[in-house]
Amino acid sequence: MKWRSLAGCLVLLMAGPTLAAEPAATTGTVYYVQPLGDVAPEHARFACRIVTKRFDVRCKILRPRPLPRRAFNARRNQYDADRLVHRLFNDLPRDGLGLMGLTNGDLYDAGRSRFVFGLASLVDHVGVISLARYRGQWWGDTDDRSRFYERFMKVLIHEVGHTLGVGHCPNRHCAMRDDTTLADLDSSPRRFCDRCGGSIERGSKEGPRSVSWHYTRGHGHLQRGQFARALYHLEQAAELDPDDSRVTNDLGVAYLRRGDRARALWYFRNAQRLDPDFAYPRYNEGLVFVAVGDPARARVAFEAAVSIDPGWALAHRQLGFLYSEVLEDPDAALAHFEAYLAAHGDDALVEERVRMIKGGGGN
Ligand SMILES: [Zn+2]
Ligand SMILES: [Zn+2]
């Protein structure tokens, strides 16, 4: 029952995949269940009933889709849950509070042990659960229908909780506790503790058309290189709250990646004005100046970023290369490269530069 958290703000320039069609919009807030592969219709209906009952939201079952072949790992005879969640991101309709994939395929997560019952994103509003291991038969035991549905329900409410933005709970009497084994799951509580219950209630109210929903959708599209869809959601978020510095910064990133540097710069400066202690827009401003060939201004922007966040490896790396390759200041370059390595940066190129500078091998 693993979850993923929001990765750091998007700061690297890279090419992305082409756009897919946006799912059709409908009205109202709905939680979606997406059968993947050969899932019994009664299991999809059971999932929807539980979601409606436990989370007090409408639920709809989407047309079944085949399991993506690329998510299958033949060596393990399992599906990569992370890949499935990544794929499901684009399938969340515009009125979707969240989306849960259901599969009979067995799931694994590369960062974890042998299997996962499910995986969900804390920010992308999507997750997937596997029905493979709820049957006693899987474990060499007799099948027990009520136990199957009990396990199904527990994993489902836990993963839906993640898709509403709730992480793992240290309270052993809470359904959001982290269960990794079948014995854990069988002893897992069905109820949420007060704290998680409150967060879930807030999460289900912060549905489509809220600032945070549009922001997380926009951020997710941005990370996937889907700029048109990123801009749609970020503009919606900015319209709802023009003073949100995260939204403003991401709008700058989206325009920068579309090649509109002037507009990007305007957003980065606006984000700095909204939150002077926010390091990302300063770093991103530095990227604009690198792109237009203005190293002096790039240096000022990156230095401002590391003065706000002295342990930011990526910003030290940028400064290291700027000082060593453009500004011809090996001492300053060395200081930033060393700060990069001290912050657990692991770029071998940086290590090589440090050796070169220390050995007097030029800049
Ligand atoms: Zn979990
Ligand atoms: Zn809890």
Q: For residue range 244-275, what is the model confidence (pLDDT) as tens digits? A: 999 999 999 999 999 999 999 999 999 999 99
Q: Which ligand is nearest to the CA of 168?
A: 1
Q: How far is the CA of 162 from the centre of ligand 1 (A)?
A: 7
Confidence band, pLDDT 50/70/90 cuts, at residue 20: very low
Residue 144's pLDDT is what? 82
Do residues 218 and 230 lie in contact, with contact meaning Cβ atoms separated by under 8 Å? yes
What pLDDT, in 10s, does the model give residues 77-86?
Answer: 999 999 999 9
Q: Does 60 fall in a domain? A: yes
Q: Which residues are catalytic?
A: 159
| Residue 156 located in a structural domain | yes
Residue 18 has which token pair?
């082409």
Question: Is residue 284 included in any domain, yes or no?
Answer: no
* Closest ligand, as measured to the CA of 81: 1
Q: How many angstroms is it from 197 CA to the middle of ligand 2?
A: 7
Distance CA 49, CA 46 (A): 5
User: Which residue shows structure tokens 């259901």?
Assistant: 102
pLDDT for residue 128: 97
Give the Å distance between the CA of 174 and the centre of ligand 2: 5
What's the whole-model pTM score? 0.80
At 98 the three-state DSSP class reads strand
The answer to whether residue 100 sits within a structural domain is yes
CA of 159 from ligand 1 middle (Å) equals 6
Q: How many A from CA of 175 to the centre of ligand 2?
A: 7
Instruction: Report, as an integer, the average pLDDT of 193-198.
Output: 96
Give the chain's domain count.
1
Tokens of 247: 């939204």
Mean residue pLDDT across the chain: 89
Considering the domain boundaries, does residue 192 fall inside one? Answer: yes
Q: How far is the CA of 62 from the centre of ligand 2 (A)?
A: 30
Express each pLDDT in 100-143 by its tens digit. 999 999 999 987 778 999 999 998 999 999 999 888 788 778 87
* CA–CA distance, 160 with 158 (Å, rounded to integer): 6
Contact between 54 and 154 under an 8 Å Cβ cutoff? The reply is no
CATH of the domain at 126: 3.40.390.10
Give kind and range of the element (H or E) at residue 220: helix 211-223
Cα of 28 to ligand 1 centre, how many Å? Answer: 28
Matching residue, tokens 């203005």: 294
Residue spans of beta strands (DSSP E) within 274-357: none
**232-238: long-range contacts, CB 8 A cutoff, minimum separation 24:** 236/209, 237/211
d(CA 131, CA 104): 5
Query: Is 276 within a domain?
Result: no
The reply to whether 90 falls in a domain is: yes
Which structural domain range is residue 96 located in?
Answer: 30-204
